[in-house]
Structure 1
């Protein structure tokens, strides 16, 4: 893909570059295993200092969105690999078993009686945890609920999927406590770092999103002579919005992309035939005049990604860090 930074924007170039890559991962412009330009190559491509690119790559590695192979380069991480079940800490398990045995000895239980008790409790807990609990953390609650419903439809009886937003997660301690028992948290690539910070130790997976069928159909149906205004909410994503529209409406030449908080937006709205707004910016449609049309550039979770990555992980029985707490001894 091409990497272009907006030098007229007040957003720092490094933040733009990081957002560009995060957005591209989320919306599949960059796919797992795809190689990124080296630090020096990327610096030359986008016209920034190599130190800036190195910092961006470092932050993306910390978020487990990219990885490096010594001597080979830097690559887009596969979400499934980043959540591969790590080697278990059998030392802790042995400690817990020893504590259980000591308790059984004090109670004068035989090995057979203790074994039967463990087997019975194990089966009970397994039945209780048969259906996994998944949370989808989005930017806006209405769209997050739609995303959660779509994911739940793909997962079937494997898991229940509840929607929330990054704002609610940040502000609601009770919600964070309730999510401590979740088997898996799903979010956008650019939100993964913040979710992980708010819920340390939890399994957080970024999933891919694709334009919905309605969005693709609406873009393909645009009048070739229409003056199209595309409005993005997140500044770091603006660079790819125009490419997304061009992908499904290559026949349209007059496409302007702006951010929702741009002071010139109000004037631009008066001179457009069709408004294409990002999810969360639907209020802009109320400012249009008769004869102007508008529709949302809505994404949906990639069902193929859910089947390929999320479903197998849940079927394998992912355990989060709360397993180490006495109140959550097994999943």
Structure 2
């Protein structure tokens, strides 16, 4: 996590300091790799460090709380929300199937079918069925281009029968087919700092926020910047302008001359023409057409946190699959028992 200090907030910009602080903190909480349960600076401390009004900090903390990114503990302050644990469903397969298994065994004994014979029949029947329950998942992205890359990075965690559809956050702002698709999906995945927003729009609880980290390629590109270079760091959203300078410095501490701006700023061309290197956030890629030939220019791209995929996403999928199997057993139990009983009768 990069330090939050006075240089992170630029009061000369026509972007309210509260907006800058919210963008800075929401990005840090979602992408900064902060440990669960980390205590944030107190309202007074952060206000003093940044030279802004305590009321502004308090309002930002309340907004972060409403977005599900921090929790406020009475008398203690603000803390990062603990990561979603790998949940184990209440419906364990052995408990769901116990009565059915007992009934089939009893039926087999009554017909004179041995236990081994029954097992062979069940094994043969299982070969006719597809063993993996397919889950319908949706990834809610901000921009389609990076979103497609994120889907490909997440896809190895999916089963061969699972599907993942891409939906943009903007498309969810209207109650249309994209919202309906999200409501019907087994799981909707998005960025950790967008989880509460997506959940509020689709009115469902089947939303899982994942943590993303700066990609390895981005880190290497930043580390390779010339320390003498004058760097322009361009964001697409004004809200996140405060994170650009510390984001660059986190992996390029040797670079000191960094100018921050956004992709629709009036002086964008002037800023770009005065710089030796340009770094742009996802969504601001159109500025590459404005960069002078020979000037190094690359995207500050993120990637899914491998730890989140392994410890949160994969177990969550396994739990959903188990629940689907349990629900299918309940719905199809009678039909399956009827089919097996027919086979047992024929065998006797």
Q: TM-score, normalised by structure 1?
A: 0.76
**Does 2:59 align with 1:41?**
no
Question: After alignment, is 62-71 or 290-299 more displaced?
Answer: 62-71
Cα distance in 2 for residues equivalent to 1:129 and 1:304: 24
* Contact 1:155 1:306 survives alignment (8 Å): no
Question: After alignment, is 181-190 or 258-267 more displaced?
Answer: 181-190
1:232 shift after superposition = 0.9
**Does 2:53 align with 1:19?**
no
CA offsets 1:200-251 (integer angstroms, 9 cap, x no match): 1232222211122221222122222222111111222221211121222222
Corresponding residue number in structure 1 for 2:56: 52
Mapping for residues 189-268 of structure 1, pairs under 5 Å: 189-268=192-271
Secondary structure of the structure 2 residue equivalent to 1:230: strand
* Contact 1:66 1:77 survives alignment (8 Å): yes
Corresponding residue number in structure 2 for 1:131: 134
1:318 shift after superposition = 8.0
1:308 shift after superposition = 1.3
Cα RMSD after superposing both structures: 3.1
CA 1:51–1:87 in structure 2 vs 1: closer, same or farther (change >3 Å)? Answer: farther
Secondary structure of the structure 2 residue equivalent to 1:25: helix
Cα distance in 2 for residues equivalent to 1:291 and 1:172: 46
* Contact 1:35 1:76 survives alignment (8 Å): yes
Cα distance in 2 for residues equivalent to 1:251 and 1:49: 32
**Does 2:179 align with 1:176?**
yes
**Structure 1: runs of 5+ lacking an equivalent:** 89-111, 113-122, 321-328
1:69 to 69, 73, 80: 73
Cα distance in 1 for residues equivalent to 2:320 and 2:162: 11
Question: After alignment, is 270-279 or 3-12 more displaced?
Answer: 3-12
Cα distance in 2 for residues equivalent to 1:11 and 1:32: 30
Name the count of aligned residue pairs: 288
**Structure 2: runs of 5+ lacking an equivalent:** 92-102, 104-125, 324-330, 333-348
Q: TM-score, normalised by structure 2?
A: 0.73
Corresponding residue number in structure 1 for 2:143: 140
Q: Which has the larger radius of gyration?
A: 2
Cα distance in 1 for residues equivalent to 2:54 and 2:88: 34
Cα distance in 1 for residues equivalent to 2:35 and 2:160: 29
1:84 shift after superposition = 5.9
CA offsets 1:177-219 (integer angstroms, 9 cap, x no match): 1221222222224423331221112322222111222212221
1:41 shift after superposition = 2.7
